[in-house]
A and B are shown apart, each in its own frame.
Chain A
């Protein structure tokens, strides 16, 4: 069975700081990986996804993630965060029938 582990439950940063959120997964099959974001009061939105090819994936709003197969990792990065990036971030892996297995989420608070 697949599993996803997110290292930090809460992260607090100042605006313009760099961000890296860790995600490790366990899955025996072909890997499809996702990062979703949930802004306060809103529904989950897809930030970026990896299916194959270039392991460095660019997403919306300046986010990117790197798939490192040898480390079973898919860490999310952003060079300079903004106050509007305050949200909860979920890493997920797609298994059979595309069902998603999510990590517990990381709550990011960006102070102005």
Chain B
């Protein structure tokens, strides 16, 4: 069973460009979480999605960031008009259900560098 897949692993964007990060959950998992890790910081929750629904986006910046998890295909985290402060590692996790007893399985992350 393949783990959580993220691509690209490394992404370089110039200021003002768009960044698209993809996450394919583990087979059978319908719950996806996105986290961001800034330098010298722990991971911070951004958004929680189920298929075709955003359940909790309380950690998402109000502007320029959006996420989706369509019925078919990977979950996408989209950052428009990137700025230097968006440089970070973005991790996706998936789980088979919701509730504290379900473990989240993490992908390898996408390291975004904004120049």
Chain A residues in contact with chain B, CB under 8 A?
A: 4, 6, 30, 32, 34, 36, 42-46, 49, 51, 90, 94, 96-105
When distances are taken between beta carbons in the complex, the residues of chain A under 8 Å from B104 are: 98, 100
Instruction: Give residues of chain B (72-115) contacting chain A, Cβ–Cβ below 8 Å.
Output: 91, 93, 95, 98-109
Smallest CB separation, A71 vs chain B (Å): 20
Kindly identify which residue among A6, A34, A51, A98 contacts B98, using a CB–CB cutoff of 8 Å: A98
A43-B108, A51-B100 as given contacts; A98 in contact with B42, CB under 8 Å: no
A99-B56, A100-B43 as given contacts; A43 in contact with B98, CB under 8 Å: no
7 tightest A-B contacts by CB?
A32-B100, A102-B42, A44-B106, A94-B100, A43-B108, A104-B42, A102-B43
Compute how far the CA of A36 lies from the CA of B95 in the bound complex, rounded to whole angstroms: 15
Compute how far the CA of A49 lies from the CA of B102 in the bound complex, rounded to whole angstroms: 10
Chain B residues in contact with chain A, CB under 8 A?
A: 3-4, 31, 33, 35, 40-45, 48, 55-56, 59, 91, 93, 95, 98-109
Kindly identify which residue among A46, A90, A103, A105 contacts B103, using a CB–CB cutoff of 8 Å: A46
When distances are taken between beta carbons in the complex, the residues of chain B under 8 Å from A43 are: 3-4, 91, 106-109
Kindly identify which residue among B45, B101, B105 contacts A101, using a CB–CB cutoff of 8 Å: B45
Q: Which residue of A lies closest to B55 (CB)?
A: A97
A42-B108, A43-B91, A99-B56 as given contacts; A32 in contact with B101, CB under 8 Å: yes
When distances are taken between beta carbons in the complex, the residues of chain A under 8 Å from B40 are: 104
Q: Which residue of B lies closest to A104 (CB)?
A: B42
When distances are taken between beta carbons in the complex, the residues of chain A under 8 Å from B55 are: 97
Compute how far the CA of A90 lies from the CA of B43 in the bound complex, rounded to whole angstroms: 9
Smallest CB separation, A21 vs chain B (Å): 13
Q: Which residue of A lies closest to B3 (CB)?
A: A43
Q: Which residue of A lies closest to B97 (CB)?
A: A98
Let me know if B101 and A51 touch, CB within 8 A.
yes
Smallest CB separation, A60 vs chain B (Å): 12
Q: List 6 A-B contacts (CB under 8 A).
A: A30-B100, A44-B91, A98-B102, A99-B59, A100-B43, A102-B35
